[in-house]
Amino acid sequence: MTKAAYHLAQFNIARTRYPLDDPRMAEFVENVERVNGLAEKIEGFVWRLQDESGHAMNMTVYDDPRILPNLAVWENVEALERFVWQTLHRRFFGRRLEWFEPIETPLVLWWVSVGHRPGLTEAVARLDHLRARGPSEHAFGWESIPGAQLWKAARSERANEHVA
């Protein structure tokens, strides 16, 4: 597989603790457009799933309206890492437990041909595959990417926070 012929697809889910119109969700909801707009400006961003509202929070997966899907395509691992760990997104990611319930294996990554835009059905199937069979070429997580240096650093920081 030549990397130039492929982009990185990323799908993650989050189950809200409260309805989106609950005041406890306000800061998250009020910043979705801002964070999505920031993603679109990052060098290496390709595409993200959205409806006419400009986001995917109205879409349902796993027949659970409390689960919010996020599906995007990036040119490479480095671009996705820059967005996740070196922008405002990191601050919101760090506060995710205020707004979302913990989910085991909430994220899946996979390589797609340049130009391919995966749909929710494909994304859910990849996440289900990762959960059922573990990481493979078909579906994997950050830990399967040797070059994911920012993810490793953030993971190490989180581990150190729990020790202190």
Average of per-residue pLDDT across 26-51: 95
Domain, as residue range, for 12: 3-163
Cα distance between residue 39 and residue 129, in whole Å: 27
What CATH number should be reported for the domain holding residue 146? 3.30.70.100
Give how many domains the chain has, as a whole number: 1
DSSP the chain: --GGGEEEEEEEEEEESS-TTSGGGHHHHHHHHHHHHHHHHSTTEEEE---TTSSSTT--BTTBTTEEEEEEEESSHHHHHHHHHHSHHHHHHHTHHHHEE--SS-EEEEEEETT----HHHHHHHHHHHHHH-S-SSSB-GGG-TT-HHHHHHHHHHHHHHH-
Range picked from 20-29, 76-85, 140-149, 150-159 for highest mean pLDDT: 20-29
pTM score, whole prediction: 0.87
pLDDT digits 0-9 by tens, 41-61: 999 999 999 999 888 999 999
Cα distance between residue 103 and residue 97, in whole Å: 10
pLDDT over 90 (residue 98): yes
How many other CB atoms sit within 10 Å of the CB of residue 38? 15
